[in-house]
Structure 1
């Protein structure tokens, strides 16, 4: 194996049928938002292909997180989210979710039961990610509200009737 491929495998993980890499390079003429959405599609495919190997608890949590991330992707594009928000979103999709999923799937089948310690630990990690996603959604909404408020003040200042008249009366 060439050194470059070895280094890539450390960060990307194996691109196996069970767990394809979600770190695919952006395609030509593909926006950052489109690349992020495509990475989430790859992650969804990986979760679905591993469906029989995942306890119901994890499949359910991963589906919920997938739904939330799709909302975030839409809001990020519509609200022109900050660079920090985009980086966090991308990291969740390309690293924070697939890395523990890959590790979980590498465990022996007996350690991937509904009540195993590994399942409960992974579920707790997914709970933290879900809270983070909800916080991110809230940040984006607050940003949109602040932008709307700022625009409202601009309009009020721009088009409000003048308080002084030519004869000096208010």
Structure 2
């Protein structure tokens, strides 16, 4: 709604006739790759944590910062060398659900329950510790997958282009 239509609707003026418009623009999210969408969701999560910074105990801010750094490594590594479907699904779940859901639940608690020494803070810190360990494992798995892929390719190249064993050729030549 334009400002003029808004003002006219308030004061009973005539509504301008709607003119059909053709929209050729594709929504921005539709043009992003899966990796770019994950990176954007991670940026959104970082923004949420920053906005809530004054309401989060230091231990939680620290853990969330460590996880953010690790997740950014995972996103960059996956974008550069790929990952399995399972790894991508887990990454998406972490960025869009496993971290934001308890974060929002924690922020909805009364201030006294968000204190440094509260049971809720300890519980959330423990959950973040589990997530951090899982992210570290995932990053390691993605890197190992790339190393295995490189090794397999190296064996393929060696088998394809390496000179045959002289004892296996006719006449020893």
2:56 aligns to what? 54
Contact 1:104–1:112 (8 Å) recurs in 2: yes
Q: Distance in 1 between matches of 2:161 and 2:169?
A: 15
Equivalences for residues 121-140 of structure 1 within 5 A: 121-140=123-142
Question: 1 CA distance for matches of 2:71 and 2:136?
Answer: 9
Q: Distance in 1 between matches of 2:43 and 2:143?
A: 24
Residue 69 of structure 2 corresponds to which residue in structure 1?
Answer: 67
Q: Is the 8 A contact 1:26 1:35 kept in 2?
A: no
> Which structure shows the bigger proportion of residues in helix conformation?
2
Question: Residue 27 of structure 1: SS of its match in structure 2?
Answer: helix
2:46 to 44, 47, 52: 44
- SS of 2:31's equivalent? coil
Structure 1 residues without counterparts, runs of 5 or longer: 1-24
Deviation at 1:166, TM superposition (A): 3.2
1:165 Cα shift? 2.7
In structure 2, do the counterparts of structure 1 residues 129 and 144 end up closer, same or farther at CA, with 3 Å as the change threshold? same
Return the TM-score normalized by structure 1: 0.82
Partner of 1:20: none
Aligned residue among 157, 165, 170 for 2:169? 165
Quote the RMSD (CA, aligned, Å).
1.3
Moved over 6 A (4+): none
Q: 1:1-170 residue pairs with structure 2 within 5 A? A: 27-163=29-165, 164-167=168-171, 169=172
Greater radius of gyration (CA): 2
| Alignment partners' CA distance in 2, 1:107 and 1:87 | 29
The structure with higher relative contact order (CA 8 Å, sep 6+) is: 2
- Distance, in Å, in 2 between the alignment partners of 1:124 and 1:106 is 18
